[in-house]
Amino acid sequence: MIGADAIIKCLEEEGVKYVFGYPGVAICPFYNSILQSEIQTILIRTEQNAAHAASGMARITGKPGVCAVTSGPGATNVITGIATAFADSIPLVCITGQVHTELLGSDSFQEADITGAVESFVKYSYLVKNVGDIPRIFREAFHIANTGRRGPVLIDIPIDIQNAPVSRFQYPEEVSMRTYKPTVKGHAVQIKKVIKELEKAKRPIICVGGGVLLSEARDDLRGFVEKYRIPVVSTMMGISVMPTEHPLYFGMVGNHGKACANRAMNESDLLIMAGARVADRAVSQPDLITRNKVLVHIDVDPAEIGKNAGPTIPLVGDVKHIFQDFAREEFACEHEEWIRTLEEYRQTLVARRNPNPAYVDPAAFITRLSEKMTSDAVYVADVGQNQIWSCGYHIVKEGRFLTSGGMGTMGYSIPAAMGAKLADKSRQVIAVCGDGSFQMSMMELATMRQYDIPVKIIVLKNGYLGMVREYQHYTYRDNYSVVDLSGSPMLDKIAAAYDMQYQLLENMDRAEAVLDAFLKEDTSVLLECLIDPMDLVK
């Protein structure tokens, strides 16, 4: 047995089913050993997408996604994917091959100081120096990635360590880390305080973030708010905690959110932020959410509490534990009048759009699409105008909504959708992107073909980098700079080149029939929708 065999055994012990990656000499021992394992390898077409695919998988399975790439350029290419996962607290274990230990630091061929380079985007990183450390390091890495605030962990392994003989392999049953012990259980006194505030509150609201999904607290939270009839809004990462049409759910907050959701948050007298960072895109003026109200901030990461807004009641812990503790309290509260007010806001504060009938109206299209999607479908939105339309008009039933919220990484949707589909092949998985973001990841159509991953792709095509064009429209009075996407390929030919089905929707007239055909079978289809180039999200 050699180090590479030990790594594979570690992955097997962790129940890893898929490894996304791209080989090179420095990771070849690993890719040689994996042939003896049942773990499936997926050859991604560029390393960044290995991390995105692992992220999509992690978000569906709740376990760390795994990617493995080579040293030097392989490792540096994966950085954006790691940073994307870090910004959204997605658990990943990223393995990078490294040059021979003796060559480290000598600027040898394909050498990059990857542990140094990713320092600010990983939860932790390891450079393996002794082959005997492999079981402990992998056990710790999976533990760190998927406990406390989730996040990516990188393990850099020189080729000689992968090839070094291992006399005895034993995977540690327990992790003993002196320095890493995240608080998951909420403080009992703080929990009582929150319940007291809930009893008093006339206008309570819970703002849910991605942390609710990461801690798998969706059902606990839903049960609690339904029992006590507490209205809910969400951040972008918190979309799909509540079904969109749930009577207690009032939409996404933030500068691209729903007016009724923002108003609900501002007018509340008790705001409970649950697994949300109070980041600038969701809350552009943090002082507004502390004024005239009691702010409760629940987060597993103590550093998030008080970073952007000083809460009245800080509550450190895992959202799931905390809502389970809430559920054990018996109390009474009544806010039907508040719910009626919010319902009125929902009816009256509706964004009006003037769609151009010559094109597909993205709002109506996305709504119709989501109505036709299966109940537990996974909708993966990319970044750009398509993301904002998706947030605004996708109707979540019992499925999931995935997107790159924190980093806003274009090209996320296709690889992440592939990871999500492989995680659960029974679910419908749809990636929605723009023509800019599609071109950042279209090389992965080959991966979809090679491994038969039936992801459905929708390209909202407007011939522009729409989000930036919209910004230039407002900020620079239509002085467009470097946003014209002329030269884009004909998507029907791209689809044909990859032997994929292709459909075109030019306007809303044929939307019903095209959508039915698009969704009918569990195969990959590329659907191109022509969007008015001048359409705006605001």
490 C-beta neighbours (distance < 10 Å), count: 10
- Comparing CB distances to other proteins, the nearer of 100 and 307 is 307
Give start and end residues of each alpha helix (H) in 434-480: 435-441, 445-451, 466-475
Q: Does 479 sit near other proteins (CB under 8 A)?
A: no
Indicate which single residue of 13, 43, 175, 180 sits in contact with other proteins (rule: CB under 8 A). 180
Task: Write down the least CB distance from residue 136 to other proteins, Å.
Answer: 12
- Comparing CB distances to other proteins, the nearer of 304 and 444 is 304
457, β-bridge pairs: 431, 526
Task: Write down the least CB distance from residue 116 to other proteins, Å.
Answer: 7
- Comparing CB distances to other proteins, the nearer of 15 and 116 is 116
Indicate which single residue of 127, 198, 272, 529 sits in contact with other proteins (rule: CB under 8 A). 127
Q: Does 14 sit near other proteins (CB under 8 A)?
A: no
Q: Does 177 sit near other proteins (CB under 8 A)?
A: yes
Q: Does 144 sit near other proteins (CB under 8 A)?
A: yes
- Comparing CB distances to other proteins, the nearer of 123 and 263 is 123
Task: Write down the least CB distance from residue 411 to other proteins, Å.
Answer: 25
Task: Write down the least CB distance from residue 177 to other proteins, Å.
Answer: 8
Distance of CA 183 to the CA centre of its chain: 23
In 3D space, the residue among 420, 49, 391, 440 whose CA is nearest the CA of residue 235 turns out to be 391
Gap between the Cα atoms of 63 and 17, Å rounded: 11
Please answer whether residues 282 and 253 qualify as being in contact, where contact means their C-beta atoms are separated by less than 8 angstroms.
Answer: yes
- Comparing CB distances to other proteins, the nearer of 155 and 388 is 155
Task: Write down the least CB distance from residue 149 to other proteins, Å.
Answer: 8
Task: Write down the least CB distance from residue 215 to other proteins, Å.
Answer: 17
| Phi and psi, residue 444, nearest 5° | -75, -5
Which DSSP symbol is given to 185? S
First to last CA, the chain: 60
Indicate which single residue of 36, 165, 178, 486 sits in contact with other proteins (rule: CB under 8 A). 178
Please answer whether residues 8 and 34 qualify as being in contact, where contact means their C-beta atoms are separated by less than 8 angstroms.
Answer: yes
How many Cα atoms occupy the beta-carbon half-sphere of 276 within 13 Å?
Answer: 32
Q: Does 15 sit near other proteins (CB under 8 A)?
A: no
Task: Write down the least CB distance from residue 97 to other proteins, Å.
Answer: 19
Distance of CA 210 to the CA centre of its chain: 8
Give start and end residues of each alpha helix (H) in 230-290: 259-267
- Comparing CB distances to other proteins, the nearer of 179 and 481 is 179
Please answer whether residues 403 and 383 qualify as being in contact, where contact means their C-beta atoms are separated by less than 8 angstroms.
Answer: yes
Question: Hey, which residues between 300 and 319 contact other proteins (CB under 8 A)?
Answer: 301-303, 306-307, 310
Gap between the Cα atoms of 416 and 438, Å rounded: 13
Q: Pick the stretch among 243-251, 297-305, 426-434, 482-490 that binds other proteins (CB under 8 A).
A: 297-305
Give the strands of the sheet with 152-158, arranged side by side.
40-43, 18-22, 65-69, 92-98, 152-158, 124-127
Task: Write down the least CB distance from residue 249 to other proteins, Å.
Answer: 32
Task: Write down the least CB distance from residue 144 to other proteins, Å.
Answer: 6
Question: Hey, which residues between 66 and 125 contact other proteins (CB under 8 A)?
Answer: 115-116, 119-120, 123-124
Instruction: Give how many residues touch other proteins by CB under 8 A.
Output: 19
Burial 68-92 (b: 16+ CB within 10 A, else e): bbbbbebbbbbbbbbbbbbbbbbbb
Please answer whether residues 142 and 14 qualify as being in contact, where contact means their C-beta atoms are separated by less than 8 angstroms.
Answer: yes
- Comparing CB distances to other proteins, the nearer of 306 and 357 is 306
- Residues near other proteins, by CB under 8 A: 115-116, 119-120, 123-124, 127, 129, 144, 177-180, 301-303, 306-307, 310
